[in-house]
Amino acid sequence: MSEEKLAFVGKQVKDIYGTHIGRVVGIITEIDGEIESVGVDCGSSGIKQLPYEQLVVQGEYVFFIPKWRLEAQKLIRQKSLTLKRMKALQEIVAENDGMKEDAELVTIKYEKKMAELGESEKAVTDKLVARLSELDAETKQVKAVLFDAKLQFRSNELKEETYLQIKVNTDELVEHITNEKTEITNVKGKLSSLTIESVSAESQTSVQAPVPESAPAVEAPKVEAQPAAAEEEKPITVTASSEGHEGEWLNQVMKQ
Cβ atoms within 10 Å of 62's Cβ, excluding its own: 24
What is the identity of the amino acid at 163? Y
Q: Which residues contact 144 (CB under 8 A, 6 or more apart)?
A: none
Q: What is the pLDDT of residues 140-184, one digit of tens each?
A: 999 999 999 999 999 999 999 999 999 999 999 999 999 999 999
Confidence class for position 62, pLDDT limits 50, 70, 90: very high
Residue 220 CA to residue 223 CA, distance in Å, equals: 9
The mean per-residue pLDDT over the stretch 97-111 comes to: 80
Superfamily (CATH) of domain 3-64: PRC-barrel domain (2.30.30.240)
| CA distances in angstroms from 186 to 76, 128, 197, 242, listed in the order given | 12, 11, 19, 16
The residues that bridge with 48 in the sheet, in sequence order, are: 40
**Taking 70 as the threshold, does the pLDDT of residue 41 lie above it?**
yes
CA 13 to CA 23: how far, in whole Å? 6
The rounded distance, in Å, linking the Cα atoms of 28 and 39 is 7
At how many degrees (to 10) do helices 67-95 and 100-154 cross? 150
What lies within 8 Å, CB to CB, of 253 at 6+ separation is: 237, 239
Ranges of each domain in the chain: 3-64, 68-203
Confidence of residue 51 (pLDDT cuts 50, 70, 90): very high
- In the predicted model, what is the mean pLDDT of residues 97-113? 82
Strands 12-15 and 61-64: parallel
CB 167 within 8 A of CB 143: no
Q: Within the chain, where are the H helices?
A: 3-6, 67-95, 100-154, 160-193, 196-208
